[in-house]
Amino acid sequence: MTLSMYQASVPVLVRGLTNLKTILGKAQAHAAEKQIDQAAFVSARLFPDMLPLNRQVHIATDTAKGCVARLAGVDAPKFEDVEVTFDELCERLDKTIAYLKEFTPAQVDGSEERNIVLKMRSGPIEFTGSSYLLYFVMPNFYFHVTTAYDILRHNGVDIGKLDYLGKSN
């Protein structure tokens, strides 16, 4: 069986964002139960030079929507990165998941050789569609989802590996 670009991107990204939303929900419940201001979690970092939780969510969602849009050859919607509460972050996750679910396999499949150019501060980086998905998007996406998980776990939220992995299909 061949794995298509759609199968390797959209369902995988949707699952990761869905699991992240579940984790944020557990963090929100934890904050309410312990009477901790949720801003303490949303602004928390693992180390002073790392980005806070809300930025981890912003980047994970930007990575996901940018990935599928680029593979399909369309422009991704721009989000303003203003979410600073659990409810706002979950709304952003919902909006991103809904956007990803708009794509069909026909829009993404066949993008393995599509030329993708990312404009970075250090200069443009060129990829084929498959190298972009496998060697840039997926590691970057999982880095930020994992960092969000780690920030919350480090701050006492009762989450575990199965929360991160989600329910098996």
Q: What is the pLDDT of residues 155-167, one digit of tens each?
A: 999 999 999 999 8
Residue 145 one-letter amino acid: V
3-class SS at 118? strand
Identify each DSSP E strand in 24-148 by its residue range: 115-120, 123-128
Report which DSSP code applies to 109. Answer: T
Residue 169 has pLDDT above 70, yes or no: no
Say what the pLDDT of residue 49 is.
Answer: 97
- Tokens read off for 82: 């203003």
The helix (H) or strand (E) run that includes residue 133 is none
Say what the pLDDT of residue 1 is.
Answer: 65
Q: pTM of the full predicted structure?
A: 0.96
Say what the pLDDT of residue 2 is.
Answer: 87
Non-local CB neighbours of 89 within 8 Å, separated by 6+ positions: 24, 42, 54, 57, 83
Query: CB of 25 within 8 A of CB of 90?
Result: yes
- One of 1.20.120.450, 3.30.70.1380, 1.10.287.610, 3.40.50.2300 is the CATH number of 5-165, namely 1.20.120.450
Residue 11 one-letter amino acid: P
Non-local CB neighbours of 109 within 8 Å, separated by 6+ positions: 4, 5, 6
